[in-house]
Structures are given as C-alpha cells and as structure tokens.
Structure 1
Amino acid sequence: MKGKEKAPWENGPLKVTEDGRYFRCGEEPFFFLGDTAWLLFHQLTLEESYLYLRNRKELGYNVILADFVHTADQRNRFGDAALTDGDPARPDTKGGFWEHVDAVVEMARELGLFLGLLPVWGSSMVKGGCLNSGNVDAYMRFVLERYHDCPHIIWIVGGDVRGDAAADVFRRMGRLMKEDRPDRLVTYHPFGRTSSSLWFHEEDWLDFNLFQSGHRRYDQVSMQEWDDNREKEGWFGEDNWKYVERDREKKPPKPVLDGEPSYEWILQGLHDKSQPYWKAADVRRYAYWSVFAGAAGHVYGHNSIMQFYRDTAKEGAFGAKYLWTDAIHHPGGAQMVHLKKLCERVGFEKGHPAGEWVLHGQGEKYDYISVFAGEDFLLAYTVNGRQFALSLEAFAGRELDAYWMDPVTGLYTYAGGIMGGREVSFAPSQREDSSDCVLVLMADAESLLASGT
C-alpha cells in the first residue's frame, strides 16, 4: 500500500471514553467498524489472508473478529494442529499452526487493523467442557504470553454461547486477560438474542458489551431448533436498536455494539433452506438502527466470509452460496463505510439518541425512524422512506442545512435551509433501487463539505 497511514494505536491505546459510551485511541475518536472472520486462521493461506485483510482495510474496516481454536481437533489449511491430542493445556508448538497465526496477526498490525480475538470458540470448546477450570489457566497463559506485546489486540471471551453455560471459566478468562494487560480492552461474544451484559456487565474485566441480535425475522420466535433460547431475556426480533437501549440504561455505563446482526447472504433463521436470505438492505438497516441508538460502532458479517467458503463442490454452512473471494466485493460490506464516515464527520462521540424528537410518522418494525443528534447536527434514518416530522427545538434560532444521504452510495444531496426551533416535516427522496435514506441536518455545513463529500 502506498503512503502507509498512521495506525490508530499510534495515537494511543484503544480505550473507553470518560462518559463510558464510546472509544478513543489516545485523544482521537474511534468508530469501531468490525468485520466477521471467525475462521481466518484456519481456512486461508498467508496470501489469501493478505487479500482479505487489505480488502477490508481499504473498505474502511478497522477491527477484524476471529478465533484461534474453534474445535478441539482444530487444524489449519495445511493440516497443522492447534492442540496436542486436543488438550488446551498443551498447545502444539511443534507444528506450524501457531507460527501461521503469528504471521497473520503481524500482517494485520502492518495494515493498521485491530484484531478482536477469541482464544477459543466458547459454544464448542467451553460449553462442551474441553476448556475447563482445570486447564484454562495453562492455555490462557500460553496465549497471553505469546501475544502480550501486540498493540492491536482486543480480547473476546465467549463465542456464540450463553454466559451461564460455564460462567466460572469465562470469568477466569476475562480476569486473566485483564491481569496480563490492564490497558487492553476485553469483551464477551454471547449467544443469539442475548448480550454480554446479562451475565458480566458489572465485571471489572468487561470493558464494553457485545450483543448478538442474531439472524431471525420478527416472526421466527421459536423454530424448534438447537439455537432456540432456553430463556427469553427480552425478545426484540429484528429491532436490534432495543438491545442498545437496554444496555445503555445499565450502570456503570459501558460502550455497546451489535457484535452479530444478520449476516449478508445468510438464511433468515439459519436452518431452513427454503427461507430467503438477508441482503445488503437488511445489513444496512441493522447498522444504522444500532448506531443511531447509541452504539459505539458496528460489526458487519457475511455468511461466506465468516466461514471463508472456498469450494462450491462442498456444502457450506447456513446456505452459503458464494465463494468468499466473491463475497468480499458484495454491496452490503462495501456500504458500511458510509455510516462510519458520516459519524466521523459529525463528531458522533458528542451525540446522543434522540428518538423522542420524532413528533409524527414514528412507527414499529420497518416503519421505525431512528434519530441521533448532537449540538450541531441531527441524523435520522428511515428504512422505507416514510414521511416524518421532527422537533427542532434544540436548534432554536439557528439555521440548519439539510441533506439527504444515500446509504447505498454515500452520496449527499442538498435539500435546502431550515430554521430551528419548530416542527419540520421531511419527505425522503424517492429512489428506484432502494428506499432507505438518512436525513442529515448540519448547523455548520462547511464541515460536512470540507470532509470530502
């Protein structure tokens, strides 16, 4: 890459802001935009890893999520084993597994990418008892010592598993991570339709919450599948913004992210091949809904990328139909950067959810209008382009410039000047290819224009 840019951690370590809502690297705001690459270390060669990582870097992602050991018999693309005889207390350092991991970790550092790393995949390794109270210290000591000096790691406990499936083991992992590097952020990746806050919010080692809004439609409450929740800690369907609201009410305040919304090109509900797929418009909706509700960023996922599906002659998981090398060019993944750039331009870390400013036109499900505002800006996202009215009382006596932003292209079009302090109705611009759009109101439009739009 020409003209290597400054890595974010060169501004200072990644940390939580003083108000407990967002992230910074040093004094620079950090919008967490993650991509899901669970099997990165297992399925790809070094050349393929570079292709994937550079692609994501150039699309604006700054965090890649992956796990070291998915199953006890874990091997990489070359057949190298992660563990000796499947024993976490005896990582296999004689083969090439961990050297390959080292190389990919270093590759990410050179590209300026953070890695959100799970030492093991919890649903298979911990819930199944392979990693347990008897060997967790030995395995974690190996992992933490090996990657102690890496400046670009965020540790993630869990892995698609309820926290109460093995709470003592998960707590031990989190505490060891924090003891090793108190300045390194730690979180927990939970089971579908749950949040880390349900079990670990008050733990000192948990720096921010992840929830998994999951892959189900509103009507897929109970599917008689293995991943039906044993308990329903608040069924929100596709309304992932409600998870954000719930976690933001907890004390002490901690940043929150949707760590696993519906993936692009994954079956709705995961298991039934007769069901339709989630597509680009859906992943956009989850992203804007959660961020405008106050999330500190967003994690995108694509079904073919998370598993690095590479052989169409073999059946992939959850209806995978595209090779990962095709999927990295799909529209939903490329469109996430428009949200990131918008938030960076307006100074998102100084904003707050403002749904109560919707006076008319607010609805449920796809009729929901999501609003996020700051001292000098207001953002409103509509899924289906419905008309709505906002109170602009907070901007009384100030003139605002209005723009419509297309979440598909990132294009801003000027829509006129508005005087604050009153109720104003907005009719989103209609487009042929999609219906979602973002209203952008700016008290200082020059800052929007100067930022390259």
Structure 2
Amino acid sequence: HTPNFTGSYENTLKDYKRTPAKPMMDGEPLYEDHPIEFNAERNGHSVSVDVRRPLYWDLFSGAFGHTYGHHSVWQMWQPGRDPINFPLLPWYEAVDQPGAWQMQFGRRLMESRPFLTRIPDDSVIVPHDVKTSVPGAGRYRFVATRDKNGSYAMVYVPVGRPFTVRMDVISGKKVTAWWYNPRNGKAQKIGNFSNEGTHTFVPPQLGENSDWILVLDDADAGFKAPGK
C-alpha cells in the first residue's frame, strides 16, 4: 500500500505480454484513506490522487479493469466498533469519498475509444534528459497507451509538468489533442496539429496533485470528446 509506481505495475505489463494473452488486473492497489505503507503515524493517509494514479498506471499498462478499495469500507468501521489501523471516517460516509466517484471517469475514457485494439506503449513518451522528471519515478510516473492501428493515443500525466510525445504514433496527417480531467471526467480541446516529429504539451494546471490525461486522436477518425 504505497503511493509509488512499484514493481506491481511493471508486473501488469509482464502479465499482459504473456502468451496466450489473458485478462489480468490488479486485485488490491492502494486504498483511499489508507495508512501509507501501513504506518499512519509516520506517513499519514492516502488521498484521492493516490488511488487515481494506480487506476491509470494499471489500465495503460495492459490491465483489462481495475479494483478500488477504501480503508473504512473493507472493515465496515463506524463509531462503536473497534478500529483497525486508524480509519478516518465511518464506512457510510467513506462510500462517497472523491476517489470512489472518480473511478467511473477512467471507464468512460477507455470506452470512448476503440477498446479491443488498445495496447500499452510508453514509447509514445519522449524521455527527458532527466529521466526521473519524464517518464518520471515514484508518485510521478508517466505511462501511455495507444490504438495499435494508430487512431488514438493516451498519456497519463501524474503531475502537472511539461512533457513531450511522439506524434507519429497517430496514423493521420492531422492530430487532434485533448486534455481529459480525471477528477471530473471533463475534456477540453487543445487544438489540431500537423503529424510531424514531436510535440511538447503543458498541462492546464501545474502542481503536485494535478494529474491529467493527454488524448491524441487521428483528426479524420471523427471521435467525440474523450469520455463521451
């Protein structure tokens, strides 16, 4: 129960690449409001961004789905019951925590583009000279997925910082770019670009807990806004 990009997400990709291919998913990522590394007194508790990151780390690395958990819900804690490892609120309030509601936006995003031809591909991301910046490390690991036929690509941006992508992963001559907000499921169009070389994008909001998804579409594909 760490908020960092660890070997478990690399194992998602390894399992995806096995032959014959089989569906797989992470059965127990970090729970919301869970003591970080089981030590609340030293590390505090996870927050919504800490459960959003595993959602996209797993999905973009080849998982067919995802699981969500909350520290109060698994033990059904409420006043009058013995707490286990510092639950923050009763289970009947925890079911409405932000991270729980935000899981639906991941599904909407995935289902708004061709699903069965999607493959993991971090080569979409151009590494920075300082690789711990991009593709990043710890909480701030960028990951990418794309349509194997070139109709779209997506990059999960776990922290608000500029990054560069390859445009040639898209098949068309023009690329339509979008920002998708994993906190509210809303998309905003960035614009249309020539499909040439690389392009640097700057998220609309910078900062440590400002995660985003960059969506690149073949402009001729006629897709609706991400999540629609």
Q: TM-score range by the shorter chain?
A: 0.7 to 0.9
Change in CA separation of 1:318 and 1:448 when aligned onto 2, cut-off 3 Å = farther
CA offset at residue 322 of structure 1? 1.1
In the other structure, the counterpart of 1:372 is 145
2:214 aligned counterpart, secondary structure: strand
Partners of 2:14 and 2:197 lie apart in 1 by 30
* 2:140 partner letter: D
- Per-residue CA deviations over 1:131-164 (Å, capped at 9, x if unaligned) read xxxxxxxxxxxxxxxxxxxxxxxxxxxxxxxxxx
Gaps of 5+ in 2: 128-133
Would you say the 8 A contact 1:396–1:419 is kept in 2? no
CA offset at residue 270 of structure 1? 2.0
Partners of 1:425 and 1:376 lie apart in 2 by 20
Partners of 1:293 and 1:352 lie apart in 2 by 8
Would you say the 8 A contact 1:395–1:421 is kept in 2? no
Would you say the 8 A contact 1:352–1:372 is kept in 2? yes
1:319 aligned counterpart, secondary structure: coil
Would you say the 8 A contact 2:159–2:207 is kept in 1? no
In the other structure, the counterpart of 1:318 is 85
Output the aligned Cα RMSD: 2.2
* 1:419 partner letter: S
Would you say the 8 A contact 1:397–1:421 is kept in 2? no
In the other structure, the counterpart of 2:192 is 417
Partners of 1:273 and 1:312 lie apart in 2 by 21
For residue 395 of structure 1, the aligned residue among 170, 181, 201 is 170
Q: What pairs with 1:74-93 in structure 2 (closer than 5 Å)? A: none
In the other structure, the counterpart of 1:296 is 64
In the other structure, the counterpart of 1:448 is 224
CA offset at residue 443 of structure 1? 1.8
Paired residue total = 219
Relative to the length of structure 2, the TM-score reads: 0.87
Relative to the length of structure 1, the TM-score reads: 0.45
Partners of 2:144 and 2:28 lie apart in 1 by 22
Gaps of 5+ in 1: 1-214, 219-236
Q: Which runs of 4+ in 1 moved over 6 A?
A: none
CA offset at residue 244 of structure 1? 0.6
For residue 117 of structure 2, the aligned residue among 350, 365, 380 is 350
Partners of 1:318 and 1:349 lie apart in 2 by 41
CA offset at residue 272 of structure 1? 4.9
Would you say the 8 A contact 1:379–1:439 is kept in 2? yes
Change in CA separation of 1:419 and 1:239 when aligned onto 2, cut-off 3 Å = farther
In the other structure, the counterpart of 2:2 is 216
For residue 284 of structure 1, the aligned residue among 33, 49, 52 is 52
Partners of 2:68 and 2:59 lie apart in 1 by 12
In the other structure, the counterpart of 1:428 is 203
What is the aligned-residue identity percentage? 26
Partners of 2:2 and 2:227 lie apart in 1 by 37
Bigger radius of gyration: 1
Q: What pairs with 1:188-203 in structure 2 (closer than 5 Å)? A: none
For residue 107 of structure 2, the aligned residue among 312, 315, 340 is 340
Would you say the 8 A contact 2:111–2:227 is kept in 1? no
Would you say the 8 A contact 1:290–1:298 is kept in 2? yes
1:305 aligned counterpart, secondary structure: helix
Partners of 2:81 and 2:172 lie apart in 1 by 63
CA offset at residue 431 of structure 1? 5.5
Would you say the 8 A contact 1:405–1:437 is kept in 2? yes
- Per-residue CA deviations over 1:27-80 (Å, capped at 9, x if unaligned) read xxxxxxxxxxxxxxxxxxxxxxxxxxxxxxxxxxxxxxxxxxxxxxxxxxxxxx
In the other structure, the counterpart of 2:131 is none
* 2:211 partner letter: D
Would you say the 8 A contact 1:402–1:440 is kept in 2? yes
1:356 aligned counterpart, secondary structure: helix
* 1:352 partner letter: I
Would you say the 8 A contact 2:152–2:170 is kept in 1? no
Partners of 1:267 and 1:429 lie apart in 2 by 31
Would you say the 8 A contact 1:244–1:256 is kept in 2? yes
Q: RCO greater where, 1 or 2, for CA within 8 Å and sep 6 or more?
A: 2
